[in-house]
Every structure is written in C-alpha cells, then in structure tokens.
C-alpha cells in the first residue's frame, strides 16, 4: 500500500484514496463523484478511474444499468486501509460544525447526533501566541485566572506542548512563578503581554515525557455475558486491555474513564470497568 502511494503525485494519490473510500463505504463510485469532490474535469475523472483500475483491477466493475462502478467481492484496499474511527470522525466533525458538508468524503450523511459538550472559548490570538512561543522556545506573560486564587494573576509561562483532556484544550508549560511544569487552560488565559527567551527545557518535564499503562477489565460485579460485551466495547483480550497515557495526562484519563473513584461507589452497570493495576498507578502517581 505504501509503495503504491509513494509512486504517485499527492493530488492523484488523494483522488485514488477517495475512489477506494467510496468503494469500501458506499459500494460505488463514478466520474461525477470525483468531479464534485475535487473540481476536476470529465477527462481527469475518467483518467483517475482508469488509473485505479490499472492498479487494482479486481476491486471494481462497471455496472451498465446503474452507470457506475461498483465494489467487487474481491475488493482489497490498496491505497487507504479502511478505518472506522476516521469515518465516524467525519460524521462528528460535520455535526459539530468543524467541517463543511462538502469537505467530507461520505456520499450520504447518516442521521447523527452527539451528546453536547460545553463550548470552551479558545481565542485565536491566544492560541497563535502559544503556538508561536512553542516554536520559538519563548516564554510569554499571561493574565491567568486559576481556581486557587480569587483574582487573575499575571505570570510568565514557557509553553512547550498542547494537550486535550477530552473536554478542554490546554498548554503544558513551565510556570516561572511557581517554578514547575503545569497545565494552563486556554480559556482561562485572559490577556497576553510580552515575550522573552526561555531557559526552561521541555526535556525537564518528566511527567510529559514518561508514560504509565492503565490495565482495565470488566467490573467483577457484572454477569459473564455482560462482561463479554464490555470486553468487546473496549477491545479487551483475555479480560483486560492496556491503555498508555502520558503521566501528565493521567488525572484527566482516570477521570474521563470513571476510574478516579472507588469502583464500589457505583453500580457495576454504571461503572462497567475497573482499574486492575490501581495500586501500582496510585503508587506511581504520588
């Protein structure tokens, strides 16, 4: 697959990936699909379809009655491995307003909805300043509202990474005020003023550069069949699954998975999974 893609120009390669995407997920593709998605001519669309047939002759056949190419039983991906998470991500991105309808490769969008999450206000100028500071290895002065203080405070931070905890975006930075690496939510950076060279080294952020492994399993209070379903939900093998996470994001990962509290505090049907190596994780996190 990689060799076939490497021998093609980027534009041609993307159109061949599109053909394969439509064949796998929709079962069909034609010239008008390519013309609408990429704004190309009839001749170019025909050339792309012929090129795909030459490279993957057993993947599609022309249906004269439907006037379209259809997926064959012998179909095998050559240019883009089918990925359910990417398909679902396109659905969600359209529903959340991140992508426009014409920007996704799905022919007909299915009815879709997601549980709403609060909008976290990230100002473009704030994000631009943090991104620039990371790239230039600089410190920036920010007016930050933490929940440990009643009023916002000006402080110098030296950001070196950006992270998402499942709900909110923040920057990982060395705080020159507290002299340690911390997380700063973008939405709580109220103002910015000034920048300077930073002597803080991202390599010293041990929690960011080290990982811990969470071992999860079905809640022991579930029935055998319930436990099997949970194992499928989380891709478990042998009754357990391993999830690697940066130590700096451990708190957020435990909270998002519902593993930050005593599993006995909730009903098995609500808790569903437990942390099998809780003692090791707790000891490591002290």
Q: Rg for the chain (alpha carbons), in Å?
A: 25
Residue 50 near residue 88 (C-beta atoms within 8 A):
no
**Which ranges of the chain would DSSP assign to H, the alpha helix?**
2-6, 10-26, 31-38, 42-55, 84-95, 124-136, 206-209, 224-233, 250-256, 268-271, 278-285
Q: Residue 261: what pLDDT? A: 82
Residue 27 near residue 71 (C-beta atoms within 8 A):
yes
Residue 87 near residue 27 (C-beta atoms within 8 A):
no
119's CB contacts (< 8 A; 6+ apart) are none
Q: Residue 285: what pLDDT? A: 60
| pLDDT tens sequence for the chain (286 residues) | 545 454 457 789 999 999 999 999 999 999 999 999 999 999 999 999 999 999 999 999 999 999 999 999 999 999 888 999 999 999 988 887 888 888 899 988 888 887 777 666 789 999 999 999 999 999 999 999 998 889 999 999 999 999 998 889 999 999 999 999 999 999 999 999 999 999 999 999 999 999 999 999 999 999 999 999 999 999 999 999 999 999 999 999 999 999 988 878 889 998 999 999 988 887 666 5
Angle at the Cα of 88 (from 211 to 8), degrees rounded to 5?
Answer: 85
Distance in angstroms (rounded) separating the CA atoms of residues 95 and 135 = 32
How far, CA to CA in Å, does 15 sit from each of 11, 100, 187? 6, 19, 39
Distance in angstroms (rounded) separating the CA atoms of residues 95 and 118 = 15
Q: Residue 167: what pLDDT? A: 85
**Local structure of 7: helix, strand or coil:** coil
DSSP-assigned beta bridge partners for residue 237: 240
Sequence length of the chain is 286
Distance in angstroms (rounded) separating the CA atoms of residues 255 and 251 = 6
Residue 171 near residue 159 (C-beta atoms within 8 A):
yes
Is the full-model pTM beyond 0.75?
yes
Distance in angstroms (rounded) separating the CA atoms of residues 10 and 229 = 42
Q: How many CB atoms lie within 10 A of CB 156?
A: 18
Characterize the bridge pairing of strands 28-29 and 153-164. Answer: unpaired
- Residues 145-196 have pLDDT tens digits of 998 889 999 999 999 999 998 889 999 999 999 999 999 999 999 999 999 9
4's CB contacts (< 8 A; 6+ apart) are 55, 78, 79
């Amino acid at each position: 697959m990689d060799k076939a893609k490497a021998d093609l120009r980027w534009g041609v390669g993307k159109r061949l990936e599109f053909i394969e995407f439509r064949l796998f997920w929709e079962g069909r593709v034609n010239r008008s699909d390519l013309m609408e998605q990429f704004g190309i001519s009839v001749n170019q669309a025909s050339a792309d379809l012929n090129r795909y047939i030459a490279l993957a002759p057993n993947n599609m056949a022309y249906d004269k009655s439907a006037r379209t190419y259809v997926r064959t039983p012998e179909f095998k991906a050559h240019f883009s491995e089918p990925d359910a998470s990417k398909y679902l991500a396109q659905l969600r991105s359209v529903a959340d307003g991140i992508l426009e309808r014409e920007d996704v490769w799905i022919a007909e969008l299915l009815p879709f909805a997601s549980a709403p999450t609060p909008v976290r206000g990230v100002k473009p100028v704030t994000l631009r300043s943090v991104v620039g500071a990371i790239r230039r290895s600089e410190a920036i002065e920010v007016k930050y509202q933490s929940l440990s203080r009643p009023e916002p405070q000006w402080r110098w931070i030296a950001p070196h990474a950006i992270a998402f905890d499942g709900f909110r975006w923040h920057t990982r930075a060395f705080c020159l005020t507290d002299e340690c690496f911390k997380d700063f939510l973008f939405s709580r950076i109220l103002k910015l003023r000034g920048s300077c060279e930073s002597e803080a080294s991202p390599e010293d952020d041990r929690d960011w550069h080290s990982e811990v492994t969470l071992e999860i399993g079905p809640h022991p209070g579930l029935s055998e069949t319930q436990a099997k379903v949970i194992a499928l939900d989380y891709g478990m093998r042998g009754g357990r699954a391993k999830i690697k996470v940066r130590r700096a994001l451990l708190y957020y990962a435990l909270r998002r998975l519902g593993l930050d509290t005593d599993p006995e505090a909730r009903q098995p049907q609500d808790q569903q999974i437990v942390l099998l190596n809780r003692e090791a994780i707790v000891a490591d996190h002290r």
